[in-house]
Copies of this chain bind each other. A is one copy, B any other.
Amino acid sequence: MAKMKLYYSPSSPYARKVRVLAMETGLDKKIEMVNVALTPVAPNADVDKHNPIGKIPALSVKGMDLFDSPVICEYLDSQHKGRKLFPRKGRSRWLALRQQAMGDGLLDAALLARYEGALRPEEKRWSEWSQGQIKKMNGVLDQLEAEAKSLKGKLTIGTISVACALGYLDLRFADMGWRDKRPKLAKWFAQTSKLPSIKATVPPAA
């Protein structure tokens, strides 16, 4: 396998998915990490070269640039011989991909709420927009609480995504109190947070 380069930032929750999966599969030693800074209004020329959408994570493999995080994660999962984090088929695959979609969907809403409340000039903020995104975040959190049982067991791309999303809430939305009234999800996350790959990738406090 050619040497791979991962464009990431230590605080990006989508890039964290890739870093966790790489550690879980032993691929982390084969990936050169390139730490970059960017926002939707301050792009990074180096990232743009490898991902025309200008987002991280982007993975450069010989002759091919891959994005976004679900594609990079599935590609990496095809490059090792150990236990697969993308179940190959059947109900377990749809369960994991659905969980990934919930984690990523929670993040998409959280990032938009964050940009609205921290990046955008104050006089241009629209509270209905933020409220709409926070409603989505709470919708996913409630659903995850209702399905907490399905999160148990060894890590998959689904549970990695959920853990990275919850970690981002602790970084940027600590005031939200997402654990309140969601004891099962909180308990699962507390246990999952002890895993070495999750511990090693906790985003640095701002």
Interface residues of A (CB under 8 A from B): 40-41, 43, 48, 52-55, 64-68, 70-71, 74-75, 78, 89, 91, 94, 97-98, 100-102, 104-106, 108-109, 115, 120-121, 123-126, 128-129, 131-133, 135-136, 139-140, 142-143
Contacts and interface: CB of A to CB of B under 8 A. Distances in A.
Given A66-B98, A74-B97, A94-B71, A139 B109 contact: no
B68 A94 contact: no
A105 B41 contact: no
B41 A101 contact: no
Nearest to A54: B136
A101 B71 contact: yes
Contacts of A109: 53
A177 to B, nearest CB: 18
